[in-house]
């Protein structure tokens, strides 16, 4: 597991560094107002691609478990193809009908860029469907190389456009779409060269129906989780304007970098728990969460202290109001990392309906707090709503883990002797310990 975490973490650190540099170029070139327009469109792209993914990327790990199912890998690939084709058609039809019969539901910014939003949503959906297949195949190195190469190419393209004073929101969306297209092609090539056969994809409608029905059970959790991360930017755009949205989007972009570590660990943990026995899976989840949480805490401390210089370099003097927002959001990031790390255990247990019910409740809380606080407090109100939602989510995740595993989840806040020794050695020498995570 450590090897796969290392591949993914190094790749995501490199990709995040490239994305931060690209973001800095975008922030300086577009200014807060243009950055706000881009933030609204990207929020819609992420929401649409997630809604129409039907949570395939979550439940596929369950169906890839050979202890429960004997599904040939081409059937998993075929289901991904069916989901992508059907969802792209649904997306285009819904956008066309909505803008034809109810154009007032969208902002002018969204209406003017509707075609690009549909195209980019479809491409991101395809990449999101292929990504878990490569993780199941344990092609983490291929994922790492592809993401870094595409990130570097995107940075070069954005830099050239900015240098020529040609960078606009539309061209930025096109560059992002081109990167997603290349990434999807690289993923298909990696699957075709895997030792275990995945391609050509095969469609068995019984399998498609079974996977989609399971996905629907957890889909409310998937969509709700994304909405209470992204919908606040749409609220801020509608209620406070593009300028404030741009400032808030910068603060969110920097804060979210700290979720990179729990994101990587949770992805690898999902595939690791597939093979773990009863009881062992809970212990693995606890220790993994504990060690990851310690690292996140150190990162948050650095971010709070250096928030001012970080925003100045990343965005420029026009975004000074993002500094207090960033410090506010670090609290929520700490809270959010805990359910993020414990969620693979829920999914391994097949608790899809429970996850969905919890996420819908948190979404309702977040929407209510956004409506209550943003009109009066703008982006600061959105940050408050985010922190409060993540705090409640953390408490719920700890309680549910305790009920499911019969383990004490508060153990994640303590470092046993063996973990203290590991952390001390890591801090002193950076030496590799053979067994970091079970």
> What pLDDT, on a 0 to 100 scale, did the predictor assign at position 437?
37
56, 80 Cβ separation under 8 angstroms = yes
Q: Domain containing 202: what range?
A: 2-429
Q: Does 159 reside within a domain?
A: yes
Distance CA 435, CA 438 (A): 6
> What pLDDT, on a 0 to 100 scale, did the predictor assign at position 433?
36
| Residue stretches of the chain with pLDDT short of 50 | 1-2, 426-438
298, 34 Cβ separation under 8 angstroms = no
CA 271 to chain centre: 17
407, 286 Cβ separation under 8 angstroms = yes
Q: Does 45 reside within a domain?
A: yes
Closest among 132, 58, 140, 124 to 340, alpha carbons compared: 58
How many other CB atoms sit within 10 Å of the CB of residue 176?
A: 22
> What pLDDT, on a 0 to 100 scale, did the predictor assign at position 272?
65
> What pLDDT, on a 0 to 100 scale, did the predictor assign at position 408?
82
- Structure-token match 């058609």, residue found: 89
Structure confidence by residue, pLDDT tens digits, 169-209: 999 999 999 999 999 999 999 999 887 889 899 999 999 99
> What pLDDT, on a 0 to 100 scale, did the predictor assign at position 216?
85
The 3-class secondary structure across the chain, one letter per residue, is CHHHHHHHHHHHHHHHHHHHHHHHHHHHHHHHHHHHHHHHHHHHHHHHHHHCCCCHHHHHHHHCCCCCCCCCHHHHHHHHHHHHHHHHHHHHHHHHHHHHHCHHHCCHHHHHCHHHHHHHHHHHHHHHHHHHHHHHCCCHHHHHHHHHHHHHHHHHHHHHHHHCCCCCHHHHHHHHHHHHHHHHHHHHHHHHCCCCCCCCCCCCHHHHHHHHHHHHHHHHHHHHHHHHHHHHHHHHHHHHCHHHHHHHHHHHHHHHHHHHHHHHHHHHHHHHHHCCCCCHHHHHHHHHHHHHHHHHHHHHHHHHHCHHHHHHHHCCHHHCCHHHHHHHHHHHHHHHHHHHHHHHHHHHCCCHHHHHHHHHHHHHHHHHHHHHHHHHHCHHHHHHHHHHHHHHHHHHHHHHHHHHHCCCHHHHHCCCHHHHHHHHHHHHHCCCCCCCCC
Q: Does 436 reside within a domain?
A: no
> What pLDDT, on a 0 to 100 scale, did the predictor assign at position 4?
52
Q: Does 434 reside within a domain?
A: no
CA atoms within 13 A on the CB side of 329: 26
Q: Does 438 reside within a domain?
A: no
Structure confidence by residue, pLDDT tens digits, 202-228: 999 999 999 999 888 778 777 877 776
CA angle 294, 295, 301 (to 5 degrees): 95
Q: Does 319 reside within a domain?
A: yes
Distance CA 81, CA 14 (A): 29
Structure confidence by residue, pLDDT tens digits, 112-166: 899 999 999 999 999 999 999 998 888 878 888 898 899 999 999 999 999 999 9
Helix (H) or strand (E) holding 238: helix 205-240
Q: Does 179 reside within a domain?
A: yes
Structure confidence by residue, pLDDT tens digits, 73-82: 999 999 999 9
Number of independent structural domains in the chain = 1
136, 64 Cβ separation under 8 angstroms = yes
Taking each helix axis from N to C end, the angle separating 73-101 and 114-136, rounded to the nearest 10 degrees, works out to: 160
Distance CA 339, CA 331 (A): 14
> What pLDDT, on a 0 to 100 scale, did the predictor assign at position 358?
82
> What pLDDT, on a 0 to 100 scale, did the predictor assign at position 267?
66
Q: Does 403 reside within a domain?
A: yes
């Amino acid at each position: 597991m450590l090897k796969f975490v290392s591949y993914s973490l190094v790749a995501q650190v490199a990709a995040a560094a490239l994305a931060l540099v690209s973001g800095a170029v975008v922030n300086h070139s577009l200014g807060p107002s243009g950055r706000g327009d881009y933030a609204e469109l990207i929020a819609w792209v992420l929401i649409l691609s997630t809604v129409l993914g039907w949570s395939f990327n979550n439940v596929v790990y369950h169906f890839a478990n050979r202890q429960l199912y004997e599904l040939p890998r081409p059937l998993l690939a075929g289901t991904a193809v069916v989901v992508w084709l059907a969802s792209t058609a649904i997306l285009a039809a819904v956008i066309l009908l909505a803008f034809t019969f109810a154009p007032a539901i969208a902002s002018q910014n969204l209406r003017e860029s509707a075609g690009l939003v549909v195209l980019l949503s479809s491409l991101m959906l395809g990449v999101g469907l292929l990504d878990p297949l490569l993780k199941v195949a344990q092609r983490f190195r291929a994922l790492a190389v592809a993401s870094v190469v595409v990130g570097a190419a995107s940075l070069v393209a954005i830099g050239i456009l900015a240098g020529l004073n040609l960078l606009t929101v539309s061209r930025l969306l096109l560059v992002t779409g081109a990167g997603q297209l290349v990434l999807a092609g690289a993923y298909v090539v990696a699957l075709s060269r895997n030792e275990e056969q995945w391609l050509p994809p095969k469609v068995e409608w019984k399998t498609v129906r079974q996977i989609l029905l399971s996905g629907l059970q957890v889909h409310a959790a998937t969509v709700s989780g994304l909405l209470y991360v992204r919908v606040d930017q749409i609220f801020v755009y509608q209620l406070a304007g593009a300028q404030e949205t741009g400032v808030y989007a910068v603060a969110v972009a920097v804060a979210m970098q700290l979720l990179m570590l729990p994101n990587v660990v949770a992805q690898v943990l999902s595939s690791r728990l597939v093979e773990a026995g009863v009881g062992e899976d809970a212990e693995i989840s606890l220790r993994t969460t504990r060690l990851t949480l310690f690292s996140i805490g150190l990162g948050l401390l650095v971010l709070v202290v250096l928030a001012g210089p970080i925003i100045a370099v990343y965005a420029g003097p026009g975004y000074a109001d993002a500094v207090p927002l960033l410090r506010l959001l670090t609290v929520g990031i700490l809270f959010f990392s805990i359910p993020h790390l414990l969620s693979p255990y829920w999914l391994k247990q097949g608790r899809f309906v429970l996850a969905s019910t919890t996420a819908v409740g948190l979404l309702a809380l977040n929407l209510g707090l956004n409506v209550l606080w943003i009109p009066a407090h703008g982006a600061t109100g959105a940050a408050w709503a985010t922190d409060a939602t993540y705090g409640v989510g953390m408490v719920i995740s700890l309680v549910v883990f305790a009920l499911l595993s019969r383990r004490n989840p508060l153990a994640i806040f303590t470092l046993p002797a063996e973990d203290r020794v590991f952390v001390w050695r890591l801090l002193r020498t950076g030496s590799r310990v053979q067994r970091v995570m079970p």
